[in-house]
Structure 1
Amino acid sequence: MKRIHKRIVIAGALFLAALFLLVGRLVQIQLISTESFSKHNINLIDESVRQRTHSFMINEGRGLLLDRKGQMISAELKPAIILFPFIKEQKGAIDKVAAILDKQPENIKSALKRHEEPFVIADDQDQLTQETMEEINNLQLPGVYAQYISRTKHSPFAGALLGVTGQAPEIIKKKYPDKLEKGTITINTKIGKTGLQQAFDPFLISEGETKLIYHVDRSGSPLFGLDVKYLSPSNPFYPVSVKTTIDKNLQEIMEKSVKASHIKRGGAVLIDIETNELLGMVSVPYTSGLIKNQMLSRHAPGSVFKLVTAASAIEHQDLASGRTFDCNLGIDGKEAKHPLGRLDFSESFAQSCNRTFGLLANEMVIENPKRIDEYAEKLGLSGRSGWRGQVYHYQDFAQFPEEEAGNIWGASYDKKVPLAISQTAIGQKDVQVTPLSVARMVAAIARGGTVKEVKAATEIEYKNGTTFLSFPDHKTEDKIEPYTAKKLQMLMREVVTSPKGTGRALNELPYAVAGKSGTAEKGGSEASNKWFAGYFPAGQPKYSLVIVDLDYKGGANGVLSAYSEIVKQIYKYDKKNK
């Protein structure tokens, strides 16, 4: 009997303990941790409301990226007819909507059965005229709305440059704790993950969605009648727009030309020489994921780097003047793979003789070990090229946060090794620069020697069109002498006009081109980096264009074909828009 009584006591105690645990858990859920439940900090009140709320987002509230003419390039605005599921309870409503949209009522009924939340029944921009949308709204049917809806674009157009958005709760918590605390954003708010979306995220991040909402009961029926509310942020200044420097038409020309050239890995950069603003940027391959922008990544430039060596030789007692060089030899003094005979300095540049620039570099480094470094900096290849500075309360704001810094040397000991010096002089060994910085260098030479930061945006505008902030030009000390720039311009023109010049395929274009080719070998790989960096029109420089194929394996030169096509199409575009 005692044993049975003991078991009853133990069972009762366990039951009471379980009951207390259950009550404690309920107290925690209902009273203590309602706003930060579990390790994920779930707001149970918000989740409860969310489960009883059906909504349709009209605009996610994220700021816009505009091209230089003010056209949207990061989002698209399109007309749509939105239906709420409870429309099926209204007699005759479906027939009226179907008649206006020229649809069968049965098709709309079928769509309603498949959706438990609001959805778009029509978004054909050709079909949905302004008159059609007004006709729908004039019906004044609860649950039927004609609205222009905005959606972020994840399209190939300037994809690598503009970047992508997505959810990143951990970054949200770390980067925007104040906004989270105020409730203007949630941990699920989309942020910029790459490109300009990432760079300008502090300004573009949503201050609240614009949406249509209604509340439902357990069965999904409207909780407060057929009352759909329109909710939008109350701040009249947001969302803002970032006015970029991108020319939508030129960007499209570049993308089509690079695609037609069959460059599989590489891309193109186009800069306005007068303003040093980025007009277009293409990086391939591109997917909507987080793949690197090759135009902001550093690569071996090959003979394009001879512009640096040439500038130094010209500026210091004109080392190359009156001399000829045995271009049957390579930089190692052995027979060259492609013997070119005996050439003077200009011919060596046009035909890209490695021997000439290897010898000159060694002479200069003996005199001053920092000579190549100094001219790489003067021409904008060291460090980063994109606009950086204080913006608002951001001390080091970068318009190209993904941009990698250029590199010239590996070990400092290399400056004492003749072969290493020669390899560096022709853009091999440890030389690594970005296509953006090469385009910047070319622009500096074309404008007379002064280096400027590259801008991708000029200003940020409030919702009402007034300027929130702008990005002023920064003065720079980096420059070469005007005489040196003029001499380099002449050398670059000969690359195209000389019968044996490496850019002679570009000599018959409607815009005269000046530039420098480059081929950089990659150790242990059959592929090489194939470059052409130049500007046009040669007489009145307007555009700096750099194209690179990072996976060139011989055969047809896709870089020159793409360069040629872009120049032709820009000429037509300029002529049409004079």
Structure 2
Amino acid sequence: MNNNQKRIVIAGSLFLAGLLFLAGRLIQIQLVSTESFSKHKINLIDQSVRQRTHSFTINEGRGLLLDRNGEMISAELRPAVILFPFLKGEEGAIDEVANALGKSPSLIRRSLEEHEEPFVISDEKDHITSETMDKINKLKLPGVYAHYIARNKHSEFASALLGVTGQAPEVVKKNYKDKLDKGIVSINTKIGKTGLQQAFDPFLISEGETKLIYHVDRSGSPLFGLDVKYLAPSNPFYPVSVKTTIDSELQHILEDAVDKSGIKNGGAVLLDVSNNELLGMVSRPYHTGLSKNQMVARHAPGSIFKVVTAAAAIENKDLQKGRNFDCDLGIDGKSAKHPLGTLDFTASFSQSCNRTFGMLANEMMETNDKIIDDYAEKLGLTIRSGWHGQVYHYPEFKQFPEEEQGTIWGDRYDRNQPLAVSQTAIGQKNVQVTPLSVANMMAGIARGGKMEEVKAATKILYKNGNTLLSFPNHKQEKGIEPYTAQKLQMLLRGVITDPKGTGRALQKLPYTVAGKSGTAEKGDSNTSNKWFAGYFPADQPKYALVVVDFDYTDANTTVISAYADIVNKIYKNDKEK
């Protein structure tokens, strides 16, 4: 065989190998790996259909969050007219649509030229009414449909509490493998990433979109005539709705008061004392996206924590009964920054004397070095305050999945250091609690010492309105004695009524208030954590409220002004009902 013949054989072999490779690749694409092509596991059939399909999503199929009155708060329904691009050139249809909408035909034509996918004329800009929708649908024009569309709300309303949704393929693979394998969800299905959207995601996750679709050829012209199909999930029970405890009117009151007061880093928590349900929650700063909910995160409470020390002292009556304390001194025995003179236990609480509670804590720790821990737990500050428990096959379902648990001691040796004990007793050093747990503590005291978990939702409802499941009240295992609660109620009321009390600015509100202030220093920062926590009306408690500013300076009165504003507006709201 000469060289030319060798070259021909080699060239032919390479050509044949190339053909075999291409044939093998085509077999792989067309027959073998049609549903899982390449390392990216691409479904080629699905992608092929998508390329030939134009669609408009009416509803993503995700379940809804409702307020306590059954109104949607996670999404909204908007009346809309949906136009499909194959209307281009259909002059008669364009004229009829323009006439029904009260617009010029040229405007409709221009809109169609600008879009290659179905698009919507919505109520937001064009004030579509139900009458207009009826008129459009009676025309029975192919490619023109009037329908209510559901869209997620993008607003500050209860943003940190409600949370956000988004795509997270790895989470879908991990948490919803069965649904993914059955084709109920895809890796691109949106899931709840924060807040109640995250907590109730197993129930809210979409099991199929409702959409209008049509198929096109290579030129973009519709296949199968001008037929647009309406596709919706066949399950009559889904999507479900979660009925939350949020009162939309009270939530707006909280948000307006917090923003008006100038609180940029902080927020408020409002509970219904009778059933321990969350009525409203505000967290600032607010950012679109994954905003941290400050109200379920740990923060130094300052003198709010004196409630714990006081509760322990009340049940150790001989320690504080009939005693006076030198409140011209600080917890270190040196001159106090704000001297208060000689005070008894009651006045020490209302005027927030650090010396008194530092001394009492050290005396109690001598006989029981776990006493502060015990009473912090009894008052719910170091355990999970939000509702949690068994729900179906979820053994530890949490309504507040981002909630952090409070802490007291950072170093085990602090229990034996008098100064560290004193600092801990007044809510400094390493004490960290959440605003939610503080509100829960106040609600428990207002109820006479009965501690319960806070609910943010009461029911999950099927699409037809029937109840899928309910969340019963959960009592916390520990609590304080009724006598102790009664004494704490008197102390908390004294904070307001004492002419020198730290809450005296709240004396003239239409609802009487009982509560406690707190200021926690933040190391080298020139700002501090400023709290006011309490309940009202003091004689017949209905609401427990916490307001906190984490960037407080002595020059502002953000917390007190916000607290007073909220109480005034809730009183007015109650009277108008």
TM-score, normalisation: structure 1: 0.98
Which residue number corresponds to residue 249 of structure 1?
A: 249
Within-5 A mapping of 1:340-379: 340-379=340-379
Q: Output the CA distance in 2 between the equivalents of 1:500 and 1:52.
A: 76
Contact 2:532 2:559 (8 Å CA) reproduced: yes
Deviation at 1:491, TM superposition (A): 0.8
Deviation at 1:366, TM superposition (A): 0.5
Q: Deviation per CA, 1:233-280, whole angstroms, max 9, x where unpaired? A: 111100100000000000000000000011111100000000000000
Report the count of equivalent residues: 577
Gaps of at least 5 residues in structure 1 are none
Q: Secondary structure at the match of 2:473?
A: coil
RMSD value over aligned CA atoms?
1.2
Q: Secondary structure at the match of 1:443?
A: helix
Contact 1:79 1:125 (8 Å CA) reproduced: no
Q: Output the CA distance in 1 between the equivalents of 2:337 and 2:5.
A: 101
Deviation at 1:104, TM superposition (A): 1.1
Q: Deviation per CA, 1:150-191, whole angstroms, max 9, x where unpaired? A: 011121100000000011111111110111111111111110
Q: Output the CA distance in 2 between the equivalents of 1:21 and 1:329.
A: 90
Residue 466 of structure 2 aligns with an amino acid whose one-letter code is T
1:97 paired with 2:97, answer yes
Which residue number corresponds to residue 13 of structure 1?
A: 13
Contact 1:386 1:399 (8 Å CA) reproduced: yes
Deviation at 1:524, TM superposition (A): 2.1
Which residue number corresponds to residue 84 of structure 1?
A: 84
Q: Output the CA distance in 1 between the equivalents of 2:5 and 2:335.
A: 105
Which residue number corresponds to residue 552 of structure 2?
A: 552
Per the alignment, do residues 70 and 122 of structure 1 end up closer, same or farther by CA in structure 2, a change over 3 Å counting? closer
Residue 396 of structure 1 aligns with an amino acid whose one-letter code is E
Per the alignment, do residues 424 and 113 of structure 1 end up closer, same or farther by CA in structure 2, a change over 3 Å counting? same
Contact 2:85 2:112 (8 Å CA) reproduced: yes
Within-5 A mapping of 1:390-469: 390-469=390-469
Which residue number corresponds to residue 473 of structure 2?
A: 473
Which residue number corresponds to residue 234 of structure 1?
A: 234
Deviation at 1:20, TM superposition (A): 2.5
Which residue number corresponds to residue 48 of structure 1?
A: 48
Which residue number corresponds to residue 277 of structure 1?
A: 277
Q: Output the CA distance in 2 between the equivalents of 1:336 and 1:155.
A: 46
Contact 2:503 2:517 (8 Å CA) reproduced: yes
Q: Output the CA distance in 2 between the equivalents of 1:227 and 1:567.
A: 58
TM-score, normalisation: structure 2: 0.98
Q: Output the CA distance in 2 between the equivalents of 1:358 and 1:126.
A: 65
Q: Secondary structure at the match of 1:295?
A: helix
Q: Deviation per CA, 1:552-577, whole angstroms, max 9, x where unpaired? A: 13311101110010000000000001
Contact 2:88 2:113 (8 Å CA) reproduced: no
Q: Output the CA distance in 2 between the equivalents of 1:105 and 1:142.
A: 17
Sequence identity (%): 73
Q: Deviation per CA, 1:353-394, whole angstroms, max 9, x where unpaired? A: 111000000001101001000000100011210000111111
Q: Output the CA distance in 2 between the equivalents of 1:9 and 1:552.
A: 86
Q: Deviation per CA, 1:197-248, whole angstroms, max 9, x where unpaired? A: 0000000001111111111001111101010111101111001000000000
Contact 2:215 2:223 (8 Å CA) reproduced: yes
Q: Output the CA distance in 2 between the equivalents of 1:401 and 1:465.
A: 26
Contact 1:303 1:352 (8 Å CA) reproduced: yes
Q: Secondary structure at the match of 2:88?
A: helix
Q: Deviation per CA, 1:406-440, whole angstroms, max 9, x where unpaired? A: 11111221111101100110001111100000000
Per the alignment, do residues 82 and 91 of structure 1 end up closer, same or farther by CA in structure 2, a change over 3 Å counting? same
Deviation at 1:4, TM superposition (A): 4.0
Gaps of at least 5 residues in structure 2 are none
Contact 1:59 1:149 (8 Å CA) reproduced: yes
Q: Deviation per CA, 1:49-68, whole angstroms, max 9, x where unpaired? A: 11111111111110000000
Which residue number corresponds to residue 289 of structure 2?
A: 289
Which residue number corresponds to residue 518 of structure 2?
A: 518
Residue 315 of structure 1 aligns with an amino acid whose one-letter code is E
Contact 1:77 1:151 (8 Å CA) reproduced: yes
Q: Output the CA distance in 1 between the equivalents of 2:58 and 2:339.
A: 66
Q: Output the CA distance in 1 between the equivalents of 2:318 and 2:248.
A: 43
Q: Output the CA distance in 2 between the equivalents of 1:152 and 1:40.
A: 30
Q: Output the CA distance in 1 between the equivalents of 2:516 and 2:226.
A: 69
Q: Secondary structure at the match of 1:89?
A: coil
Deviation at 1:18, TM superposition (A): 2.9
Q: Secondary structure at the match of 1:86?
A: helix
Residue 214 of structure 1 aligns with an amino acid whose one-letter code is Y
Deviation at 1:126, TM superposition (A): 7.7
Q: Secondary structure at the match of 1:429?
A: coil
